[in-house]
């Protein structure tokens, strides 16, 4: 049976890249987004290239469950891929109520519309582990989120697990590390135009605005060069993980979760230097104080995903940095 996929957050970078790939593979997709941290650019691409298999509703998931129920009744999805949510760690510390309302209530509303015939894949995050001294992180590492954003992901995971056990909803939570890069068709890009919080869109904004340097938050961490270390993963590898999770989900008993990362820690300075090198650019570094909510080191042990999903990250840091910039040049 070919899945009918309901994608929340379909206009965003990760949700949009997944939607694009799913449509290329011939799936029927209904997208939902409220454009709170995206635009309609990706939706217009889907409507142009995949008109027969794509439909869309602009909807605030956290506040309109009645309209959401109508979508479920009309589209009849067999699986929901729940990407929608606010995603900036730093902003979550400044606007905690907004993050709790948006991220957790949207998950609650999705769960109220599900039954045992509709499965769920949830876009979780490595931030659920917090500033853990145990690296690399396995799925058995302590759950100690240090940011409001991470806490909303833990709360959503808990709600999903509870619904899986009580209502028989088969669910998988995918704990992402740090996705960058672009789909290989260079059609879907991460928004850099407003006030991006993540490093890659900030790098791209720096170049596009003809700025000389990028601000780095903290150079006094106990790492090899003093800057924070993250596990960067190519968005194409991340999307492949979702496709394999869709294949797996019918075989699980009720609920499971997987880390999606490369297992390779990369410092902020290493990422910037690689971005400069592969794209023949010269972004300079400007150090500032640490940013609240950021952790020192965070990288995955992806062994469980490799064993149970048959998934492994394939694309290297150089390709991530090259594709991030090539996609921007292609669409702007």
Residue 149 annotated as catalytic: yes
pLDDT band at 271 (very low <50, low <70, confident <90, very high): very high
Task: Report yes or no on 210 lying in a domain.
Answer: no
Q: What is the pLDDT of residue 331?
A: 75
Catalytic residue among 20, 99, 129, 149: 149
Between CA 40 and CA 314 the distance in angstroms is 30
Q: Is 281 within a domain? A: no
> Is residue 103 in some structural domain?
yes
- What CATH number has the domain bearing residue 236? 3.40.50.720
Q: What is the pLDDT of residue 90?
A: 83
- Residue of 52, 39, 47, 318 lying closest to 181 (CA atoms): 318
The answer to whether residue 252 sits within a structural domain is: yes
pLDDT above 90 for 197: no
- Residue 208 near residue 332 (C-beta atoms within 8 A): yes
Q: Among residues 7, 24, 15, which one has the least CA distance to residue 188?
A: 15
Residue 175 domain-assigned (yes or no): yes
In a domain, 125, yes or no: yes
pLDDT in tens, 31-64: 999 999 888 999 999 999 999 999 999 999 999 9
Residue 89: per-residue pLDDT: 86
Q: What count of other Cβ atoms lies within 10 Å of the Cβ of residue 222? A: 7
Please check the confidence at residue 19 and state whether its pLDDT lies above 70.
yes
**The total number of structural domains that make up the chain:** 1
Identify whether 40 is part of a domain: yes
Residue range 257-264: mean pLDDT, rounded: 98
pLDDT in tens, 199-257: 999 999 999 999 889 999 999 999 999 999 999 999 999 999 999 999 999 999 999 99
Cα(88)–Cα(96) distance, rounded to whole angstroms?
Answer: 11
- pLDDT above 70 for 332: no
Residue 134 forms part of a structural domain: yes
pLDDT at 189: 85
Instruction: Please give the residue range of the domain that contains residue 72.
Output: 4-180+232-261+302-313
């Amino acid at each position: 049976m070919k899945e009918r996929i309901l994608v929340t957050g379909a206009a965003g970078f990760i949700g949009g890249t997944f939607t694009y790939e799913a449509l290329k593979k011939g799936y029927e997709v209904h997208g939902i987004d409220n454009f709170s941290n995206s635009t309609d650019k990706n939706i217009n691409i889907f409507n142009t290239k995949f008109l027969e298999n794509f439909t869309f509703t602009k909807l605030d998931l956290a506040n309109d469950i009645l309209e959401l129920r109508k979508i479920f009744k009309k589209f009849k999805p067999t699986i929901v891929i729940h990407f929608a949510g606010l995603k900036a760690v730093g902003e979550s510390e400044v606007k905690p109520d907004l993050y709790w309302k948006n991220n957790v209530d949207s998950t609650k509303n999705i769960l109220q519309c599900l039954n045992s015939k509709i499965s769920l894949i949830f876009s979780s995050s490595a931030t659920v582990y917090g500033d853990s001294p145990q690296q690399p992180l396995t799925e058995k590492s302590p759950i100690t989120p240090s940011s409001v954003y991470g806490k909303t992901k833990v709360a959503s995971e808990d709600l999903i697990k509870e619904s899986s056990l009580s209502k028989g909803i088969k669910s998988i939570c995918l704990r992402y590390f740090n996705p960058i890069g672009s789909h290989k068709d260079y059609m879907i890009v991460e928004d850099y135009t407003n006030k991006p919080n993540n490093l890659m869109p900030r790098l791209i904004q720096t170049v596009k605005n003809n700025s000389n340097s990028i601000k780095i938050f903290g150079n006094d961490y106990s790492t090899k060069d003093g800057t924070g270390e993250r596990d960067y993963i190519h968005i194409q590898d991340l999307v492949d993980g979702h496709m394999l999770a869709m294949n797996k989900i019918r075989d699980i008993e009720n609920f499971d979760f997987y880390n999606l990362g490369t297992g390779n820690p990369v410092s902020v300075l290493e990422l910037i230097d690689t971005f400069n090198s592969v794209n023949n650019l010269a972004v300079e570094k400007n150090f500032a104080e640490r940013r609240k909510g950021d952790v020192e080191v965070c990288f995955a042990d992806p062994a469980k995903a490799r064993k149970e999903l048959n998934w492994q990250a394939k694309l290297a840091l150089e390709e991530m940095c090259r594709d991030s910039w090539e996609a921007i040049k292609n669409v702007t």
